[in-house]
Amino acid sequence: MNADSSERMSVAKSVKTTLNNLDIEARDVGVAALALELAERIDREMSNRTAAELSAKLLAALHALNATPEARKTEKGGAQVVQGALARQRALRAGEP
């Protein structure tokens, strides 16, 4: 990806490409439509704070469609690894060794 700000990558275009490469089941079409809508709103958004909030929702929608590295890792048996990492972070926040 080019970091040149004059050629800003469209989030909607990227999400559309991702969705086109997924085998989306009929029951997941609504989530796919939501992901695309969120991406389009992010592209139009002027507030960084709102864009960040929308981005978190977009990431959750993409995760539900198994379209993120974390989601794919979990599907391949990485759930225990992810859960272990989360447990370690929670323990650190709680002040446990």
pLDDT tens profile 5-42: 446 689 999 999 999 999 999 999 999 999 999 999 99
pTM over 0.85: no
CA 89 to chain centroid? 21
- Selection from 85, 31, 78 nearest residue 58 by Cα: 31
- Selection from 65, 69, 9, 71 nearest residue 35 by Cα: 65
**Is the model more confident about 4 or about 7?**
7
What pLDDT sits at residue 85? 63
Q: How far apart are CA 18 and CA 20, in angstroms?
A: 5
Instruction: Decide: 73 and 49 in contact? Cβ < 8 Å.
Output: no
Digit-coded pLDDT (tens) for 32-76: 999 999 999 999 999 999 999 999 999 999 999 999 988 888 766
> Cα separations (Å) of 66 from 17, 27, 39, 46, 61?
14, 14, 17, 29, 9
**Is the model more confident about 97 or about 13?**
13
What pLDDT sits at residue 6? 47
